[in-house]
Structure formats: structure tokens, C-alpha cells
Structure 1
Amino acid sequence: MDVVSDAVAAIRIGQPSSNRVRVGGNWCVRLPPYDGAGFHVVLEGGCWLLPDGGPPVSLGTGDVVLLPHGTGHVIADGPADAETVGRAVSFERWLAGTGPGRPPAGSRDVEMLCGKYRLDRSRTHPLMAELPEVVHLPNRVGSHAELRAAVDLLGHEVGAQRPGSCVAVPSLLDLLLVYMIRSWAAQGSGTWPNVLGDPVAADALRALHSDLAAPWTNDRLAAEAGVSRATLARRFTTLVGRPPMAYLTWWRLTFAATLLRDTRDPLAAIARRVGYSTPYAFSHAFSREFGTTPGQYRTVAAGAQ
């Protein structure tokens, strides 16, 4: 595994959902704040996104926008004023009334994919926490090739009712989320894009995430990154915000929480998988980090899904 894959897997729960909608004329739709992440992909035409408390964003054909923290927002045919936004209809009403048909002749057509991801924010990786309220990825020639390919595939699958679409669409939506985050990181603005772009910190993180159960030490990790122990400690701590072994302990327990939530593996198996020699040692560390036992955490997490 790698940092982005692990960060996504730790918070994603359930199946993502999406709708393909087509609309024309004057329209203005509200999507309330959501305890997850929302996204829109403009397949044809253009529209505006007006996030709560943020500046309006113009979206054109091929543009992708991710709202990773579930920010409430309005999508509309134009940069609507406050009065128009106040009259926005709910997304559910709009969806029920739009359907797959064509809008009236002569109106401005807009076709979009609108969807959301269910997320468990109880143990969010700092990479995910750093994402801005709105991640706008414009459709530019030569940029985000993988994202463009995923958008094209989704555009063909969603609403088409093809054989196997029940498997293909959720998988493509998961891929879309990874590509949106990867595209944001590639823009290089923020702490974690800098972390992932630093050869020392990135190599160390890749090693830790690929083998959590290994008996890591600062010396062994420094050798993996090809630098001295002092250089690793300085670069890693400055960029990541905590020393390598402190990050390793935190991530081991965070990943263990994901396993407790998503699997029925026994405690002994989970302990071994995250680098603890005994269930007792694992339970002690887990309780210190989470303030509850692994068994109690599993019970509460199961009830929340």
C-alpha cells in the first residue's frame, strides 16, 4: 500500500453513489452539508458551483470538482445572486423532476455526474484533512490524463444499465476519488503534496505503509530512504509534523481501527498485521491512543455503519 491508498481506505465506508442528470433553462439546486464527500463532473455544457462561505466556481465541459469535507453548496446555470440561491430547490426534488430526458428545445443543455462518498472521519489521515473545501480540476489539454480516462468511462457506464454496471460503476467511482486526490497532490500546493514530492520523506512513508508489521527502527528506515538517521529525523519531522516512529505508531493503530471496523479478524491476527507481538501489547497501545479497548471500538463502529 501507499499513503494515498491507505488514507482513502481508512475513511471510506459503504458504496459511493452517483446520478447522471441533464437539465436546461434556468435552474438552481441546493445540496446541504454532508458527512462525507461530494463531487460533480460536467460531461456537457457548463454551470456554476457556489459553496457555502466560499467564492463561486465556474465549471466547464470536462471539469471535475470534489468537495472532500461535504461542504454545502448550490449548483446553478449561472452565478446566482443571494435571492436566487435562497430559492434553490433541493437536489432530491430536482433529480426526481429532471429524469434522463432532454430539456426543452432551444434551452442550454448541461449534463453532469453528481455523486457522493460515505466517509468515517473519526481517524482521518492528515493528507485527507488538508484537502481544501473545494478541489476544482479544470479540463485542460494534457493534464490529469488518468482522471480524464476515468471520467470518460463513468460517462459511458452511469445510467446506461449495461451488463456488469453494478460492479463497474462503484469501482470506477472509487478510482475517480483516488485520481481526484492524486491530481490535487500533483498541483503541489500544501503540506502533503510537498511530503509526497520529497524523496526522503516519500521513500520512508512508502516503506512504512508497505510493511506495517516490520520491526522498524530509525536506523532501518534511514537505510531504506538512503540517508543518515539524523537527516531522516529532520526531514521527516519537519514535513510530516511528527517523528518517524511516532507516525508509525499512530498509523499502525489507525489502520488497526480500520481493520476492526471493516473485518471480523480476531485481535491476535490484527495485532500481528500491524506489528504487535501479542494481543495484550496491541490492546494496551490501542486503549492509550483511542481511550477504549479494541473490542469496544469494534462494537461501536459496527453499530455506526
Structure 2
Amino acid sequence: MTVQAKLLLAASASVVFLAAAVSPAAAQPMNDPFATRRTGKDWAVTLGVGGALTPTYEGSDTYTVIPVPLVNVVWRDMVALDPFGLNAYWRFDGLQVGGGLTFNLGRTQSGGLFSPGNWRLNGLGDIPAALGVRGFANYKLGPVMLGSTLTKFLAEGNSGLLLDASLAVPWRIDDRLTVMGRVFATWADATYMQTYFGVNALQSINSGYAPFATTSGIKNVGLEVRASYRLSPSWMVSANARVSQLAGSAADSPISVSDTGFTLLTTIGYRF
């Protein structure tokens, strides 16, 4: 097995840890369509560590801090492994299109290695982890990037469909500091909504929540700000702050104690 193949296998395992620190919503691939990655090298690898402050589940009013590793591997600006999955993509002037695999960690009542759990979930049962397939497109329109991602999860008991749409504006302040603001909205089908926000008859008996049936619709809207600062040609620190507002059935659910959620992720990485 080549060194590059071993690196990809190790990175794939690390992705699971960092995925635990982000929302279960379908996220845009991290590789910025504005970035110029044609450096003459086939491989661009970034390794690092960080930490995340995140709700214990989507709709929770309690938070937890999770230590996370950072892995980002890009091959020939066509294949990328980042904390949200494995992707292949192509660029055509201002258009980037691609697809790949992502992962949803599900949700547990009591908590575990990848999920903190919450007492408010008692009686609702666990949601299994799921592999997801997705396609995405980003288009650069002047200083603005328009993006969309369609994700389908494939596990029994976690098979919903998500559509994420966003508008982002990057701002390169100088050679070292780059900031990007992004507004987004996520639509979910009825299956996803019922899985994460619904309460069926058995769950109602076990948990004490009133039965609650969901419908498809906008799950959440939000704002995200990313900032990265290059300490040296190889070292970089970054921060990602995201605020999300639940909507529709997700906001009306008895499970949703807080409709507004906040996530903060900070990392330091070394690029080889």
C-alpha cells in the first residue's frame, strides 16, 4: 500500500471525529471554489487539531465541548477528503460541480464516544449512524458564491433527504487573513423530519412527550462566518462560528427546547 493510500485511510477514520462537532445538516464541502490549488503538486495535505462548542443535539439548549482532529487531503484539485466527506469535483470557469460520500452520526439517548446524549432524549430511542450520498454545485457570480448540496442518507431508521442552499461572500483582507460569510437554508423531507423531530406513539409512551407528526419543509436557516489566518507558509489557524434557527416542524417539535443553536469550531493546522 502506498504512503498516499495509507494517509487516506487514516484521514477517513479521523473524519468521523470531526463530523461529531458539526450539525447533522448537509454541509457544503470545505474546499473553497475560490481557492487556487494548482501548485504543481499532486497532493495537498493539512493535518491539525482543534475543539468545538456545539449543542448536545439539534434543538437542545445545553452545550458540550468536543476535542477534534482536522484532516484535509486534496488530490490534483479533483478529489478531496475533508471533515464532511469524500468528494470528487470538477471546475468549469466559475462553476464547480461534484459528488461523493458523507456521514451522519445519528443520535443517541445516553451518549457515547461520538455523541454526548441528553436526558431529554430518553425514551425516544437511538438514531443509527448513516452513510450518505450527495451531489453539489457551486457557482461564482462576481464576488458571490452560490451553492447547493443534495444529500440522501441510506441507513434503515436514518434515510432522510436534505437540500442545502447557500450564498457566500469571501473577503481576502490581506495575504494572511481570509474571512467568508455565508447564509444558508436547509430543506428536509418528511422522513428526515420525523426521524429527528417527530414523536410516534411508542416514543410518546416511553418518553412522556405528546405524539408529534412532522411534514417536509425548511428545517433551518442560519449564518456562518469562517476566518483563517496563515501564521507561516505551512501553519494556519481558523475559526468557524455558526448560528442556526430551526423552522417549520423542527421548531414546533416538543423535542426542540431551543430553536436557536450556536456552534464554534477552532483549529490549528499544518499544510504539507
Give the TM-score of the pair, scaled to structure 2: 0.26
Rg: which structure is higher?
1
Question: Greater strand percent: which structure?
Answer: 2
Give the TM-score of the pair, scaled to structure 1: 0.24
